[in-house]
Every structure is written in C-alpha cells, then in structure tokens.
Amino acid sequence: MGEMDVEVLTMGRRRLGHRRIAAGARRWTAVISLCLVMCVGNLTPIARAVVPTVDPGGFVALPPSRLLDTRTTGAPIGSDQTRPLTVTGVGGVPSTGVGAVVLNVTVTQTTGPGYLTVSPTGTSRPLVSNLNWWTGTTIPNAVTVKVGTGGMVDLYQSGPGSAQVIVDVSGYYVDGAVSDPGGFNSIAPARILDTRTTGGKLGSDTTRDLQVTGNGGVPASNVSAVVLNVTVTETTYYGYLTVYPTGTTRPTTSNLNWTPGLTIPNLVTVKVGDTGKVSLYQSGPGTAQVIVDVAGYFLDGAVTQLGMYVPLSPTRILDTRNNANPLRAYEDRQLIVAGTGGVPATGVGAVVMNTTVTQTGMAGYLTVHPGYSPAPLASNLNW
C-alpha cells in the first residue's frame, strides 16, 4: 500500500463556539487514538471497514464518529448532574464484546467553572476528572474508559453552571480475559498522585518519579505501558510537563502546556520505565500542582497478535515551526506516520500521538483523521 498518512485539517474558526485570544497566548494539547488504514493483507482504502479478528485487549480503530452533541440533542448538562451515554452499538462500535472505548470529549459554552468525569455506568463515580474548565472556555481531551452497564458510560458535570458536551468515538478495545502481550486492561479510574496533598508542587526544571505498577489497580509486574489522565493546576508561570519512562533520556516532547493560572488535563499513554515508574518533568520557572489518574495498562512482552499495543519512547515527527510552514486556514495537510519515529513502515493499524498547536492567530480547531479519507465531523483540538 505504500506510505501511510494521516491528514491534519485546520479551520479558520472552530465549530465549538468562538472565543478569540491573542496570537501565541495559549497552547492546547490532546492525545488522540487515530484510525489509520488497516494494513492487513491487500486491504485498500475502500476496504477499511473490514475488521480482522482481534483477541481480548486488542484495539480496533474506527473513523471518528460523533455520539453526542448536547447543543442539538438533550440540552446542556447542569450543575452536579450525571448523564448516561450509550457507546456500544453506535458509531461503528459493536453492540457486544467491547471492554473499553476511546473517546474525544469536548466541553463548550461553559457558564461556570467545573470539571467533567467520564466513568463506567453502574459503578461508583471515581474521584477523578477528565476535563477542567473555567467560564466561557472550550476544551477537549481524549478519554479511554471502561464500558459499564448496558454498554454505557456516565458523564458527570461538577460546576455550578452548565456545559455543552460533545463526544466522538475513535475506537474500542475487545472485551475478555487479556493474555496477549500488548493487550489492554481497562480499570476503574484511580488517583495515584495529587501533589496538593502528597509531595508538594513541582518546581522549576524539576523531575519527579512516580510509581505506577502495583498502584491504583495496575499489577506490580508484566506491564509495558499505562494510560494516565494528567492534570496541572495552580500554575504560577508558563511551562510544560513531559511524562516519560523513568531511566530513559528525557525526550524533547511535551504532554501539557500552560499559561499562569491555567488548569489543563491531557490523556497520556506512556511506556513504563525502571522499577515500574514514570518521570514527570516540569519545565517552567514557576511551580505547578500535578494530578495523575490511571485508567488502564498494557501487558508486557513481544507483540505478535493483531490489535495489540507497542509502546515507543516519545518522538517528534512534525514541528511546523522548524520550516516556518504553519497550517493556514482551511488547509488539509498529509503527515506520514508509518516508518517514522519508531513506527514500522507496514503492519500498523493506528497510532497514539500527542498533537499540540501554538502561535495561533485566530480562534479555530484541528481535526486529525486517516489519510485519503473525508474529514469527519469531529475536532481534536479547539483554541
């Protein structure tokens, strides 16, 4: 099939509300599980919908599909309200045999500060948050969540006001007893770090190691990578946070970027390092409080089965600042991901990428989708 591409589409104005900010004032980040061409046999772009047999814990990528938009269906979610959302049997997700789903969740038209928690229906709501916001903001984040009772997940809105919520699905993990290396085990979200209560804030140019194995429902051994929701708050200056395997060289990448006073979350899938730890590096001259919640883990070992996850050390595969070639309004640009940054040239069904926008001149949104496919009605970043 040749090289595999994703397409990056930028629009001059976002479709999730409009709020203009100064150019370069803020940088938004999101981790996204992307549907790419399934490189199995002689599949062509036309045959992308064919799903191969995947063992429990394996991931099946889907073209992004909208499951909920409260602006058109159901009204905004009010203060201290929980709304269940069916995630199986819709958007390409099967009705049965689904252990967890990968969602892109966005809040907009927020009338007060608050946070959103996404959790399996039928379970106690965990003490975690997936998105945090202040009045009038639009903010997205990727969410990997275990499927609950009736194939549903719960959306809880904490704030004193209301929020419109948009949910897009980009794939799912197959249910069942996971035994293959690279298979994903979803767990009830659990908080494994809150520097506001333990350890104290991270200072300037500071690295702190965090034990992730044997913690929050993650086994003590046989773990290759973990899925974390990482949030920074009480930030006193500009900065960024990098999450990477302990014992390795810190990569030249960032997982969260902020301005003073900003509270911002991001989903981070990170390889586990020495003695089951990951490292948190805080770059800024100020300080930041950091909260980490774990949502699942991948089994260690040599991956041989379809749909299983192979962790990599974070590697930058695009920086438009290097060639002074930013994306323009309504531009659709292809990015080759197979054969770059440690990703094999063939046999890849999907990739996990951290995508950041900066030096934004006007309000807008970014959509990342499989190459050679129409842009979906979904956005991955809004600014």
Dump pLDDT digits (tens) for 2-45: 445 665 665 554 344 333 333 333 333 333 333 333 232 233 33
| Of the candidates 309, 344, 71, the residue with the CA atom closest to the CA atom of residue 185 | 309
Task: Indicate the pTM of the whole model.
Answer: 0.84
Q: How many domains does the chain have?
A: 1
C-alpha span between 273 and 244 (Å, rounded): 8
* Backbone region of residue 171 per phi and psi (left: phi > 0; alpha: psi in -120 to 50; beta: other values): left
Cα torsion for 196, 197, 198, 203, to the nearest 10°?
A: 20
pLDDT-derived band of residue 262, with 50, 70 and 90 as boundaries?
Answer: confident
Dump pLDDT digits (tens) for 145-193: 999 999 999 999 999 999 999 999 999 999 999 999 999 999 988 999 9
List, in order, residues 6 or more apart from 318 with CB less than 8 Å away. Answer: 335
Lowest mean pLDDT among 165-169, 174-178, 200-204, 351-355: 351-355
Residue 25 sits in which domain range? Answer: 5-382
Dump pLDDT digits (tens) for 271-313: 999 899 999 999 999 999 999 999 999 999 999 999 999 998 8
Dump pLDDT digits (tens) for 76-86: 999 999 999 99
The pLDDT assigned to 382 comes to 84
> In this structure, which amino acid lies at residue 247?
G
The pLDDT assigned to 289 comes to 98
143: Cα separation from own chain's centroid: 5
| Contact criterion met (CB below 8 Å) for 366 and 380 | yes
